[in-house]
Amino acid sequence: MSNSYLIKDPLARESIAQILKWQDESGAYVACPTFPQYEYAWLRDGAFCALAMYVSGESKSASKFNNWVSSTVLNYKSLFSAAMLRLEDGKPILPESAPPTRFHLDGSVEIDHHETWPNYQLDGYGTWLAVLAQTETLFSDSIMRAVGIVADFLLLAWPSPSYDCWEEGGDLVHGSTLLAVAGGLKAASEITGDSRYLDGYENIISRIERDFVMDGHFVKNSGNPRVDASLAWAAVPHRAYEATHPIVLKTVGAIKEQLQNPAGGVKRYLGDTYYGGGDWVLLEGLLAWNAATNGDKKSWEASRSWFASIANSQLLLPEQILHDVQSPEMISPWEQRWGKVANPLLWSHAMYLLLLHEGANQKWI
């Protein structure tokens, strides 16, 4: 498929430029170059950026990121081994010594930070595996070794609590985390041919459908009837389910009903107070991607137009929009603590490219 549609779209061109500009020489993508708390590389954010680069014709950028992840995993092999030993002994993983998913751009882990970061997030590793299978065709020996380490770890770790993709709820098991890990293990099976990973995928799907589905849709936590917008990644990009699966369709419908702002943007979950709990740009992109996958041109077009409307004069996309927040009284405390909302957020730019790509697949552009 030709990428000529990108040339005609100023926001698409700037999105590619921003992601490439802020990809470190190491291969890592910084989450946000202007927001001190986000001047790090997350596996989750980076994987979405890598996929966006790949589908936009920048496969070298994606491979550079994948090589950075694999080398980082290999450098911290001892952390994975120690964590797996604890799990095999029936002991909980200690978050402070768990394999992290936020790194300095050179691949090192922060040691002395003024805030203890909730760094034990299984979804980041699942997301990397899921995206790796979609962005690489030739797997180096180092990548294959890293895939084995990560997948073996996830096979043991997935039933245990970890922080979710919003870095909250470290004492809980989260629906979106299980979907990410399931997709990652399925991808690991495709990459390696190891049937253990496919068995792990099937075990997680059984657990999800037993404990994380209510009223026909996925839920945020076991026993929690509410949805979380990140659950919309079940099909894209994680491929844990087909986009047409009834549970996926019902989940996306529930997210649109409960969390999508009619004017554009999607809240993470009901009750969110981070910067007031506004409308997240990347989540609008995730719903648009799902819409395009299912042939919903009207919704996709509305999302695409909204992205263009909220980009600033430099065509930069922020993390969230604070026009219609859930907790207005919480905007000022967060701004005093960390400053204004992160902008540009590379993950937001990646989602715009991914929704465009799916629209192009549908021959809408």
Write the DSSP assignment of 8-53 as a string of letters: T-HHHHHHHHHHHHTB-TTSPBPS-TT-GGG-SEEHHHHHHHHHHH
Confidence of residue 14 (pLDDT cuts 50, 70, 90): very high
Cβ 117 vs Cβ 144: under 8 Å = no
How many residues belong to the chain? 365
* Catalytic member of 167, 168, 190, 324: 167
* Catalytic member of 14, 152, 228, 319: 319
pLDDT reported for residue 94: 82
For 218, the 3-state DSSP assignment is strand
Pairing of strands 102-103, 213-214: unpaired
Residue type, 56: S
Phi, psi of 266 (to 5 degrees): -135, 130
Among 248, 267, 245, 247, CA closest to 258: 267
**Full-model pTM:** 0.97
For 93, the 3-state DSSP assignment is coil
For 225-253, the pLDDT digits (tens) are 999 999 999 999 999 999 999 999 999 99
For 152-206, the pLDDT digits (tens) are 999 999 999 999 999 999 999 999 999 999 999 999 999 999 999 999 999 999 9
The first and second tokens of residue 158, run together, are: 């997935």
Confidence of residue 1 (pLDDT cuts 50, 70, 90): low
| Mean of all residue pLDDT scores within the chain | 96
Least confident of 109-113, 139-143, 174-178: 109-113
The class level of CATH for 4-361 reads mainly alpha
Percent above pLDDT 90 for the chain: 92
For 28-47, the pLDDT digits (tens) are 999 999 999 999 999 999 99
**319 a catalytic residue:** yes
**167 a catalytic residue:** yes
| pLDDT of 149 above 70 | yes
For 217, the 3-state DSSP assignment is strand
| pLDDT of 298 above 90 | yes
Among 187, 167, 165, CA closest to 175: 165
pLDDT reported for residue 110: 80
**272 a catalytic residue:** no
For 68-102, the pLDDT digits (tens) are 999 999 999 999 999 999 999 999 988 778 899 99
d(CA 59, CA 76): 26
What average pLDDT score do residues 275-303 get?
Answer: 98
Terminal-residue alpha carbon distance, the chain: 12
pLDDT reported for residue 115: 63
The first and second tokens of residue 276, run together, are: 């007031």
Pairing of strands 213-214, 217-218: antiparallel
pLDDT reported for residue 274: 98
Buried b (16+ CB within 10 A) or exposed e, 1-20: eeeebbeebebbebbbebbe
Q: Is the bond into 237 cis (omega within 30 degrees of 0)? A: yes
* Catalytic member of 164, 194, 279, 284: 164
